[in-house]
Structure 1
């Protein structure tokens, strides 16, 4: 595979400027797909960029400036081959909440633009520093089950959010419940525009048919072109179908935003919040799409890439940006191969601004809704969800919880829920790890879990236990309870041998627990023995001075060595388990 630039998945070259590596290995056969994907994205980026700018309380034209610059910068510095950045509906309210209180009475739009640009520069700087500082580990904190649930939830929220536009009306509501209620009210209230619904459903059906029957044909682009022709030929706007309309014209020069000292602290606070949200969203989306091709991502470089995109937007009257799950899904669905797609999109928007601001004026809004809905459907992975239900109920529950987090709390809080669930699951496994008794199975080398092999032979007066986690403050009590319970069985054991290879660490809390445990066991004539302990862990045991309590002779290199020593001392032989 040639797609190794900035991603982990089997090696490959890595460059400070990923685009250079992409261009060196670029194949001519990829260009048609990248061109088509770039043009399709242009049809989405133009109206969405304008709308999200207004959502942030800024002139609509700034959304186009932002789209161009973030696409260019991420294409150069971003490691993902397919991720699409741009103005984001989730960041819009955060930008407005930061900028609008600082705008002078009367709402000077130029000051608002300067403040938003400064906010983008601060956000970009924070993210670039974070990436260079190695904070991309966030990418490793999201498990696959929670990612599946996150994407399923994202697919549903995108679908519901686009249905009103598909039907020809709009809903002014917050949250999934509000959007569903608004959709129902609009349908029951007769707000559906038949012509708009026909255009939207027709486009959605045609996209699906082309994907199945003619997968090599860019169905999304075909639908966009046909809907524009239909709007022009049949006057769809006269039948109530909303069109994109003419675009503003022109392109800004590089600009350093001028702000006052009093603006710095509020903008910095807003930039930190936006950076955290954008970082999490970007890592989540990048991880999800990389996983579809069997890759993992370089989280640090992803953060640097999106930081560069924000910095570029800030110098050209733009505002903070994030990853777009829906637009990335469109690029993936259409067949984008590299960030050349982003370069094509940036160039197309620039040409439209300079030469043909009226090119997309006849594009029906329901068609855009159909494109986004088709992309959202591709995000959902129901087979993987059902597989989790079959193979591991606990991870299915995690996936459902992440799904509900996105649907009930919103996309960005849902990401936070997914991260928290993943971290919580790791902590749960370390807190209550798998623990078992080991026995000898005739004909099989080594020692094996008696749960898996009930016929395993046991050694009288010697209990072999395994604890599959590092010993630290959270599970120290669990470990002690298990061994104390084993020490009280009848007949009472003389040795409790801990197969210590899975124990990769012992913290000071666990060390104090081991001291107290050994004292308590010795009082009942039971010896605590360790076998197969890793050298780094053994050095910590020595540093904690535990060998003053635990006999240094009770540390063995292997379980076999410990068993041989016990049998030599006691003469015990392996016995079959008692029935029942």
Structure 2
């Protein structure tokens, strides 16, 4: 693999520069409270959070292929490390903690480098959108709950849902109302400005107001917590002390942290990349994470990770490349060198509000709503992924998320779309019997479409569907295998057994419409004799011919439907029982009439743009209205009639051409009739009956248009 350094700066546009610099300064400013807070959670002094926001973020920018993603001290690794110290009985900010934390960072970086060598980035390919969305949303909600106690004047919470609830409850007992008021006020202002003026840098204004409140009103004397003061200067580089730590513990916790960093960073990066339409090199992102964590160990910091909240801010302020990270790293270095004085005046609740606001945009409620509407199964997977992170932690969330992705695949594969097919009188294709009211099976023939690869987990469904469909008069079973791309040995054996069972009952069995790959697999699994025995045919039509069933096919039409085929048309009206539209009904369902009306208006608009209708040939007129050529004959006939009713929408300059246009419409209607007589004469009576029914419906739907058209026609006939 060829490494690409500073890849997001290639072909850089100068118009990006101001936005990238501005966004980088915002990120650095917001990173001050976030990084200091998470450093403390991990068990080291708060200032090390600032140290971890310089060299690690610069090295990440060097290797990263993500245009937006921001790296730094973050919640999940800090929480894991802090929990590890607690388990080992090591006090926060003790000498032992100062040894263990950078050692864990170093091992996390080494594990990530190993993952890079092993191409472990492929893990993302096994995680679906609902799982990814639930995972990211769960992390965002977890961090928001961690931040809530800080709004009330207490330290940040830690742990999973129950522990976080305890922290919030304890903070509520000792609440600082001024702190809560400042935090909620800041949050409301940020959200309000995000809606009214999303590009306005309200975060910086809020921080300035916070410093002003401290200087002028001395809010710190009234219960509002301020950030710790920080001494000036950059961190000294170091080599983690591996002698005075338990290497097994450090390496084990480092592995745990590395898995979380890789999964969380890649998932979040791919979410942002997909949303903003650019590509990533997932494997190089793992290398970028490895470099960042080795750098964190070199400055004595806790493990670092991709930050969803800061990336969301970067997206909000229009950052276009890793120049944002470079700016943020340089800005943080300058702050450490020259401007640490103001840090001690920043109210914690105000900065917490900035973090919570960014995280609120990360929670993918829109995806949850969409899934709830279109796929309850995927909605439940989304919720399960989110709650697993919230209730069990990031590590178990990753594991459960991957398992849920496999469950989703299994559910889909074991309950695939499938249908029985028949024919509509006058049409040559094969239609789903359950979705087409006037589709009927060919007498004595079962045509079954199975839309999934056939393997051990779903072949029983395949067999049961076929067996349950067989009747006394069944002579032929045809499998439409056009959507089957592979079979396994279990499925192959079952196919052979089904074919043998049907043969004993005098029923012919065919496998059709599939790729040559299926035939190769049949031979590999030892049932190639099915091909030689004539059970495998390239098309459904070939299978029908082989079985001695020739057109015109005798359809198995119930007696009660025989009369309907003659006297009823096929239209689609959402509020009526009548169904006359064919192609539009199939494509648009309940919106069929609405869509055909939109097509009519589109055609009228095209007529507006014709400079001289009289010079337009009949062929040119038909070519212009290309909507006609994508419709069935019956649909087009209705479209023509509806165009007539909208002729009064033509502009005044085309009013004189109305007669010509109507003439062309009538000529086209005549061609349709000729086409039916030549190809499907049995449908002609149906067309005439349909026209009568259509007139009745149009009288109800648009009586004014019908009245105007009849009036104009009478005047025209009297000329």
TM-score with structure 1 setting the length:
0.87
The residue aligned with 1:457 is 440
The residue aligned with 1:218 is 201
SS in 2 for 1:200: helix
> Shift in Å at residue 542 of structure 1?
0.8
Q: Is the 8 Å Cα contact of residues 113 and 287 (structure 2) preserved in structure 1? A: yes
The residue aligned with 1:334 is 317
Q: Is the 8 Å Cα contact of residues 513 and 540 (structure 2) preserved in structure 1? A: yes
Is 1:228 aligned to residue 211 of structure 2? yes
SS in 1 for 2:534: helix
> Shift in Å at residue 180 of structure 1?
3.4
Q: Which has the higher contact order (CA 8 A, sep 6+)?
A: 1
> Shift in Å at residue 295 of structure 1?
4.6
Q: How many Å separate the matches in 1 of 2:539 and 2:105?
A: 58
Q: How many Å separate the matches in 2 of 1:339 and 1:168?
A: 35
Instruction: After superposing the two structures, state which structure 1 stretch, 339-348 or 153-162, moved more.
Output: 153-162
Q: How many Å separate the matches in 1 of 2:245 and 2:146?
A: 38
The residue aligned with 2:161 is 176
Q: How many Å separate the matches in 2 of 1:100 and 1:257?
A: 20
Q: Is the 8 Å Cα contact of residues 567 and 573 (structure 1) preserved in structure 2? A: no
Q: How many Å separate the matches in 2 of 1:155 and 1:94?
A: 16
Q: Is the 8 Å Cα contact of residues 44 and 93 (structure 2) preserved in structure 1? A: no
Is 1:490 aligned to residue 490 of structure 2? no
Is 1:40 aligned to residue 40 of structure 2? no
> Shift in Å at residue 566 of structure 1?
2.2
SS in 2 for 1:360: helix
> Shift in Å at residue 258 of structure 1?
4.3
Q: 2:112 aligns with which of 118, 124, 127?
A: 127
Q: Is the 8 Å Cα contact of residues 515 and 550 (structure 1) preserved in structure 2? A: no
SS in 2 for 1:161: helix
Q: How many Å separate the matches in 2 of 1:241 and 1:107?
A: 24
Larger radius of gyration: 2
Q: 2:12 aligns with which of 8, 26, 37?
A: 26
SS in 2 for 1:317: coil
Mapping of 1:283-362 within 5 angstroms?
Answer: 283-295=266-278, 297-362=280-345
> Shift in Å at residue 75 of structure 1?
0.9
Relative to structure 1, the CA distance from residue 449 to residue 301 in structure 2 (aligned partners, 3 Å threshold; closer, same or farther) is: farther
Is 1:53 aligned to residue 33 of structure 2? no
Q: Is the 8 Å Cα contact of residues 138 and 283 (structure 1) preserved in structure 2? A: no
Q: Is the 8 Å Cα contact of residues 531 and 562 (structure 1) preserved in structure 2? A: yes
> Shift in Å at residue 490 of structure 1?
2.8
Is 1:116 aligned to residue 101 of structure 2? yes
The residue aligned with 2:143 is 158
> Shift in Å at residue 365 of structure 1?
0.2
SS in 1 for 2:148: helix
> Shift in Å at residue 223 of structure 1?
1.0
Structure 2 unaligned spans of 5+ = 562-719
Q: Is the 8 Å Cα contact of residues 167 and 194 (structure 1) preserved in structure 2? A: yes
Q: 1:536 aligns with which of 517, 530, 533?
A: 517
Relative to structure 1, the CA distance from residue 571 to residue 169 in structure 2 (aligned partners, 3 Å threshold; closer, same or farther) is: closer
Q: How many Å separate the matches in 1 of 2:441 and 2:548?
A: 12
Relative to structure 1, the CA distance from residue 392 to residue 107 in structure 2 (aligned partners, 3 Å threshold; closer, same or farther) is: closer
Q: Is the 8 Å Cα contact of residues 441 and 555 (structure 2) preserved in structure 1? A: yes
Q: How many Å separate the matches in 2 of 1:546 and 1:134?
A: 38
> Shift in Å at residue 470 of structure 1?
1.0
Q: Which 4+ stretches in 1 moved above 6 angstroms?
A: 99-103, 105-108
> Shift in Å at residue 251 of structure 1?
3.0
Mapping of 1:517-532 within 5 angstroms?
Answer: 517-532=498-513
> Shift in Å at residue 550 of structure 1?
6.0
SS in 1 for 2:53: helix
Q: How many Å separate the matches in 2 of 1:127 and 1:552?
A: 56
CA displacement, residues 495-540 of structure 1 (integer Å, 9 cap, x when unaligned): 3211112111111222222233333333323333111221222211
Q: Is the 8 Å Cα contact of residues 530 and 536 (structure 2) preserved in structure 1? A: no
CA displacement, residues 333-368 of structure 1 (integer Å, 9 cap, x when unaligned): 233222222112211222222333323111110111
- Give me the CA root mean square deviation: 3.0
Relative to structure 1, the CA distance from residue 51 to residue 318 in structure 2 (aligned partners, 3 Å threshold; closer, same or farther) is: same
Q: 2:388 aligns with which of 405, 408, 411?
A: 405
Q: How many Å separate the matches in 1 of 2:82 and 2:163?
A: 21
The residue aligned with 2:74 is 88
> Shift in Å at residue 99 of structure 1?
6.2
SS in 2 for 1:354: helix
Q: 2:548 aligns with which of 547, 558, 567?
A: 567
Q: How many Å separate the matches in 2 of 1:136 and 1:446?
A: 45
Counting helix residues as a fraction of each chain, which structure ranks higher?
2
CA displacement, residues 154-185 of structure 1 (integer Å, 9 cap, x when unaligned): 44433333222122234656322443354345
Q: 2:126 aligns with which of 135, 138, 141?
A: 141
Q: How many Å separate the matches in 2 of 1:59 and 1:182?
A: 21
Relative to structure 1, the CA distance from residue 93 to residue 28 in structure 2 (aligned partners, 3 Å threshold; closer, same or farther) is: same
> Shift in Å at residue 312 of structure 1?
2.6
The residue aligned with 1:3 is none
CA displacement, residues 44-74 of structure 1 (integer Å, 9 cap, x when unaligned): 3233323323322334443333222221121
Q: How many Å separate the matches in 2 of 1:515 and 1:177?
A: 56
CA displacement, residues 316-347 of structure 1 (integer Å, 9 cap, x when unaligned): 33332222222222222233222222112211
SS in 2 for 1:556: coil
> Shift in Å at residue 218 of structure 1?
0.9
Q: How many Å separate the matches in 2 of 1:389 and 1:98?
A: 38
> Shift in Å at residue 437 of structure 1?
0.9
Q: How many Å separate the matches in 2 of 1:207 and 1:330?
A: 12
Mapping of 1:187-202 within 5 angstroms?
Answer: 187=172, 189=173, 191-202=174-185
Q: Is the 8 Å Cα contact of residues 215 and 345 (structure 2) preserved in structure 1? A: yes
Q: How many Å separate the matches in 2 of 1:106 and 1:161?
A: 21
Q: Is the 8 Å Cα contact of residues 27 and 328 (structure 2) preserved in structure 1? A: yes
Q: How many Å separate the matches in 2 of 1:100 and 1:186?
A: 21
Q: Is the 8 Å Cα contact of residues 443 and 554 (structure 2) preserved in structure 1? A: yes
SS in 2 for 1:85: strand
Q: 1:545 aligns with which of 518, 526, 529?
A: 526
Relative to structure 1, the CA distance from residue 15 to residue 257 in structure 2 (aligned partners, 3 Å threshold; closer, same or farther) is: same
Instruction: After superposing the two structures, state which structure 1 stretch, 471-480 or 51-60, moved more.
Output: 51-60
Q: Is the 8 Å Cα contact of residues 457 and 574 (structure 1) preserved in structure 2? A: no
TM-score with structure 2 setting the length:
0.71
SS in 2 for 1:546: coil
Q: 2:487 aligns with which of 502, 506, 509?
A: 506
Relative to structure 1, the CA distance from residue 429 to residue 79 in structure 2 (aligned partners, 3 Å threshold; closer, same or farther) is: same
Q: Is the 8 Å Cα contact of residues 214 and 347 (structure 2) preserved in structure 1? A: yes
Is 1:77 aligned to residue 63 of structure 2? yes
